[in-house]
Amino acid sequence: MEASKVNQLKLFIQQCDSNPALLQDPALKFFRDYLEKLGAKLPASAYGKGESAKKTEAKDSFVDESDDDMPELEEQFGPSSTSPKVPEETASDDEVVESEVELDNEGVIEPDNDPPQKMGDPSIEVTDEKRDEAQTAKSKAMEAMADGDLDEAVNHLTEAIECNPTSAIIYATRASVFVKMKKPNAAIRDANAAIKINPDSAKGYKWRGMARAMLGHWEEAAKDLHLASRLDYDEEISAVLKKVEPNVHKIEDHHRKYERLRREKDERKKERERQRRRAEAQAAYEKAKKQEKASTCKPCGATGGCSGGMPGGFPGGMPAGGMPGGFPGGMPAGGMPAGGMPGGFPGGMPGDVDMSKILNDPELMAAFSDPDVMTALQDVMKNPANLAKYQANPKIAPVIAKMMGKFAGK
């Protein structure tokens, strides 16, 4: 860009800066929109009547699964170079939505919604005479089918079924007529009846499979046709399977693809959860380390701080661990008062105590070798209020009372 034009642009921006109302000019709306697109916040005077700043839409539509606690931990301790990073959820982690499968639906028809056809009463007794009547009606139906009169064929087959409702072959035959009439639902009802009577009815599975193919129920159709072919193979079944099976393969591939995508999504979610837990554990560990470091006394290295007590313990026989923190102070004459001994030496062992009085006292030194006494003393050192627990203890109370007497200079 030429220097003169750059200077003109600079002058224009300076004028807008000093007088934002210039941007109300409709001719400059493109420039104002450009500034807003860059994220600029313009003053109210830059807009005319009825105008306002455009609301910025959220860029991310998905929900971040990271814990609300994690930012607080980082504010306290700062980011840790050793803490595992939790991967952010991306758009690919949204709910898996299956696409439509492109199938060859040539020959698929709308389902027939006619009232159910008449079915036989399986509870009636079928006599030889009824069987003969059923066979006669079936023969008439076959003649009608040969003449192309399918409605007449259905009527004769219905008569045959009423005479002999226990014949699977008659139901299967009427199912074949319904397939030719493009009434797949009626065909399926008759095929179901045939299979119920004879679970090995090859014709029942054949015509049900063909009816299901007419409805586009490819997987169910393939299952029926394969079973019919195993029971009684014929060329008509093979021809229909050549159309059905490619669609079934596409559906199976489609299912496998989306099952894999859902598994991968679940694995990513589980991995994010594992890393989140590791990050929380690492943050908690670092927090504990910092708190421990903050509470450690630099001069003596003791955890919890030391308030000027006697580092190094009692020379000449005090068991390991010593008695840091001192004892609650002051034993009034006459022994321990009821309710414990308030007060104490918050600063540890008083500096003006003659330690030789304690170290040269054989009774105290003998008491210090008793584990029960030392456990009680350590308990009182941790929390002076625990002194009340030992007021009535005949072994512990006299030792503490005698030590308090030494502190008091008795």
Which of 68-77, 317-326, 368-377 comes out lowest in average pLDDT?
317-326
The pLDDT tens digits of the residues spanning 167-226 come to 999 999 999 999 999 999 999 999 999 999 999 999 999 999 999 999 999 999 999 999
Highest mean pLDDT, choosing among 70-74, 75-79, 100-104, 352-356: 100-104
Are the C-beta atoms of 68 and 61 separated by less than 8 Å? no
Residue 71's pLDDT band, with cuts at 50, 70 and 90, is very low
Joined together, the tokens standing for residue 143 give: 């003649």
Quickly tell me which residue has 């029971």 as its tokens. Answer: 231
Distance CA 379, CA 328 (A): 12
> For residue 319, what are the contacts with CB-CB under 8 A and spacing of at least 6?
368, 369, 374
Residue 26's pLDDT band, with cuts at 50, 70 and 90, is confident
> For residue 59, what are the contacts with CB-CB under 8 A and spacing of at least 6?
none
Residue 308's pLDDT band, with cuts at 50, 70 and 90, is very low
Residue type, 192: N
Are the C-beta atoms of 172 and 201 separated by less than 8 Å? yes
Angle (CA) 364-366-372 rounded to 5° is 95
pTM over 0.85: no
Element (H, E) at 397: helix 396-407
What's residue 90's pLDDT? 59
What's residue 276's pLDDT? 92
41 burial (CB, 10 Å; 0-12 / 13-18 / 19+) is exposed
In this predicted structure, the answer to whether residue 354 has a pLDDT above a threshold of 90 is no
SS3 186: helix
297 burial (CB, 10 Å; 0-12 / 13-18 / 19+) is middle
What's residue 55's pLDDT? 53
> For residue 285, what are the contacts with CB-CB under 8 A and spacing of at least 6?
none
The pLDDT tens digits of the residues spanning 334-345 come to 333 333 333 333
Distance CA 17, CA 98 (A): 53
Quickly tell me which residue has 């934002």 as its tokens. Answer: 20
Distance CA 167, CA 11 (A): 100
Which residue, 68, 378, 103, is CA-closest to 243?
103
What's the chain's average pLDDT? 77
